Amino acid sequence: MGRRRERTTSHDAFFGHVRRCAICALIAVSLLAAAAPARAGDIVSASCPCGFQRQGMPIFGGFATYKTSCLFPALCRATRTMVLGNLMDPAAGAKDCPAPEMVFYNDPSLAPEHPGRVVSSWNMPDAKGQALLYEGGYVCPACGRRTLRFRHVGFWD
Ligand SMILES: [Zn+2]
């Protein structure tokens, strides 16, 4: 009798412990989720009726990079193409365009007259502001007309 009661008690204690651990784990997971919000960047494509297009550009930041990097499309005046630069470090330029030749697509000189809806938005950390990409039409790197349109095609992290 005494032995059986003892076993039952330890059995209950064991499952009580398991249950407490499960609750602790749940709390820990939800705390982690709250502390590190998912930071998935957007994938956008750009196209112009003149034939210019740039498919599948990963913009903003990913899980590992969002504190220091906010990739954003820029017009490269030297090559008349579209490149990706870091809005949080514009002086770094892009690997395919030197910084002085780059104009980011949030610059008023490239902005659309009728922006339309927001295609992608991103809050940069440390109150560095918001990066917004509208539908367009923006200044096209190839033909120079305000007929370049962006569209959202997916996410990356
Ligand atoms: Zn064009």
For 65-93, how does the pLDDT look when each residue is reduced to its tens digit (9 = 90+)? 999 999 999 999 999 999 999 999 999 99
Q: How far is the CA of 123 from the centre of ligand 1 (A)?
A: 29
Q: How far is the CA of 81 from the centre of ligand 1 (A)?
A: 10
Q: Which pTM value belongs to this model?
A: 0.75
Average pLDDT, the chain: 85
Q: How far is the CA of 70 from the centre of ligand 1 (A)?
A: 25
Q: What is the pLDDT of residue 128?
A: 86
Percent of the chain at pLDDT above 70? 76
Residues at Cβ < 5 Å from ligand 1 ion: 48, 50, 52, 140, 142-143
The whole-angstrom separation of Cα 50 and Cα 135 is: 17
Q: What is the pLDDT of residue 39?
A: 76
Q: In which band, very low, low, confident or very high, does the pLDDT at 147 lie, cut at 50, 70 and 90?
A: very high
Q: What is the pLDDT of residue 33?
A: 46
**What are the structural domain ranges in the chain?**
1-36, 41-156
Q: What is the pLDDT of residue 35?
A: 45
Burial class (CB in 10 A: 0-12, 13-18, 19+), 40: middle
Q: How far is the CA of 149 from the centre of ligand 1 (A)?
A: 10
Question: Residues 97, 99, 100, 102: is their CA dihedral positive or negative?
Answer: positive
Q: What is the pLDDT of residue 10?
A: 57
